[in-house]
Amino acid sequence: MQSHRAWLMHLHEMLGPRFWLYETDDAFVLSSLEERVARATARCIANARKKVAHVLGGLAHFPEGEKSVLLVMDDEEWYYHSALAHPALWLDEGIAVNTEHKIAPTGRGLYTPQEIQEFWSGQSFARTDDGNMLSYELARVIVEQLAKSWESFERFVSHARREDAGAAAAAEHLGVDPGDIHP
């Protein structure tokens, strides 16, 4: 936990004096939020952790003493200039968006990204146009389809590797090639 705190304090210094770190038993909240809002946000994180653990069962791991980290940016520009690119996000983001959808459904429609290779490589999640939103929605739909058999899906997630965007694990544990899925 000390390493998380040290990293967040370093990030705090880089973001400037209006940001501050609020800490509870379940969360670190680095933001420029008012104290009462940061406190309420931390309570929401604690509740969300409980809901995520309930929805995902054995896939959700919140080890004793480890806290969730929430970084709240002031606006979209701060977020995109601070976002970290990851090489293969479709599975992570699909799980995240599906979990979000199960906890708080939004009713958004189905979209497909213009460049499917950007989706599988994860590049489309870093886009600053509609391709970003489309990627999250496509990941949600694909994961929703793959998770219909939860036990097989759980094995798939446990063995998926970023190097091949989860293709080998999907073939072995689900009997599908993710590229052949048509949402």
pLDDT tens-digit readout, 129-181: 777 888 888 888 888 888 888 889 888 888 888 888 888 988 999 888 876 76
Q: Is 109 exposed, middle or buried (0-12, 13-18, 19+ CB in 10 A)?
A: exposed
Residues 6+ apart with CB under 8 A from 84: none
> Which CA distances in Å does 167 have to 27, 40, 91, 158?
34, 40, 11, 13
Q: What is the pLDDT of residue 111?
A: 39
Q: What residue spans define the domains of the chain? A: 2-82, 90-180
pTM of the model: 0.48
Beta carbons of 27 and 47 less than 8 angstroms apart? no
Q: Of 87, 103, 179, 100, which is closest to residue 142 (Cα–Cα)?
A: 179
Tokens standing for residue 2: 């000390």
The model's confidence at residue 88, banded by pLDDT at 50, 70 and 90, is low
H or E element: which one contains 61?
A: none
Query: Which structure tokens are listed for 61?
Result: 């791991």
Q: How far is CA 74 from CA 2, 14, 31, 178, in A?
A: 26, 14, 8, 36
